[in-house]
Every structure is written in structure tokens, then in C-alpha cells.
Amino acid sequence: MIMRNLVTIVPFAVGVLGLITACGARQKQATEEQESFACKDRLVSYVVSHHMGGDEVGVQMDCTNGPAIKRWRIDRKGTRIDDARSLTSGEFDKVWSELAGSGWENLKDCSNGTAGDRDPVYVFDIHDDQSKASFQCQSQSMPYPYNTIVDPLAVAAQNGRGQLGDPEDEDLKKLDKKDRQK
């Protein structure tokens, strides 16, 4: 009888102990991240005017009130759709380290974009406690090294989220529907 109870209790006790240990490790990691995170007045954003996704599209990552990222889109009719989420300090630092590789402190307005009259205009604003830079680039797609700012921010803003609104105008949908009826 005692052996049968031990056979039942021992695996249960080992499972509970494992769960407690795992939770304690996660809590320890969260506490360490929270304590070691230094904001250093870091902010990075880009705003795109006349983008195919809307009249204005933008992403901003900063740590003013804790690490966070937000994105927005303003459609052709002026309707603004946005969302924001918190980041862990590890996520924030990972994206920031990717941006650091761009040499943003030394970037100026780009000269290697497509610069077509109808091409979108990207405006960048980046700063930390030591440097500040603002520059722009008019191009269909971002050339190097400007893409090393846009790409990590866009990925981080999209992570775990769906599309931000419907990028197709209602007028375009009506035209498409009309064409299918012919």
C-alpha cells in the first residue's frame, strides 16, 4: 500500500518541483531584464508619405514609458488606424542593435533612392543620449543602409499582429468588382 502511494506521489511531486523551478527561472530572467535595462533616451521612427499602404504609414519604437513600439496608417480618406504594444527589454535591445549597424548617426538624406516624382518619401528620426539624426529618402523601396532601419522596425511592429487595416481603398474595391461583372 505504501509503495503504491509512493508511486503516485513521487511523479506528482517531481512535476510540481519542476514547475516551481521553471516559473522561478522565468521570474528571475524578467527581474534581471527589468533591472538591467537602460533607456538612454532611445527613440527611432520612420514616417512614409504617399505609400501604397496609405497616405501615411509609420512605426516608432521608444522607451520613454518602458520599451514599446507603435505603428499607424492613415488611409487616403484621412482615417487613422494604429496599434501599440510593449516590448521586453531584450526585444528592444535586439532591434536597437540591428539599427546600430546602419550607422544612423552619420546618415544624411539618401542619394541612392529611386527619387521618382510619385515615389514615397521616408522621413527618419533617431536619437539616443549621445546622438541625434533626422534624414529622408524618396524611393519605392529603401536602399542600403536605410533598409537596415526600416526592415527591423517593420518586423518588430508586425510581430504577433495582423495587418493594420485594409490597405485597399473602397473605391478600388468597387472598380475591381465592376470589372469582374463584365
> Which of 27-36, 44-53, 62-71, 148-157 shows the lowest mean pLDDT across its residues?
27-36
pLDDT value at residue 36? 77
What does the pLDDT read at residue 26? Answer: 59
Q: How far apart are the first and last CA of the chain?
A: 81
Q: What pLDDT, on the 0 to 100 scale, is given for residue 40?
A: 95
Arithmetic mean of pLDDT, 98-121: 94
Distance CA(126)–CA(148), nearest Å, equals 13
| Distance, C-alpha 20 to centroid of its chain | 33
Model confidence at 14, pLDDT cuts 50, 70, 90, reads low
Range 21-24 contact pairs with CB under 8 angstroms and sequence separation of 24 or more: none
pLDDT at position 43 is: 98
**Mean pLDDT score, 116-130:** 95
Q: What pLDDT shows up at residue 94?
A: 96
Cα radius of gyration (the chain): 24
Nearest to 85 by CA among 99, 71, 102: 71
* Residue 73, pLDDT above cutoff 70: yes
| Exposure on the CB side of residue 20, measured as CA atoms within 13 A | 6
Tell me the average pLDDT across 147-165: 87
Buried b / exposed e across 55-64, counting CB within 10 Å, b at 16+?
bbbbbbbbbe
Least confident of 5-19, 34-48, 126-140, 168-182: 5-19
- Grid cell 518588430 in the structure block, residue: 156
Please check the confidence at residue 76 and state whether its pLDDT lies above 90: no
Averaged confidence pLDDT in the chain: 83
**10, pLDDT greater than 60:** no
CB 19 within 8 A of CB 26: no
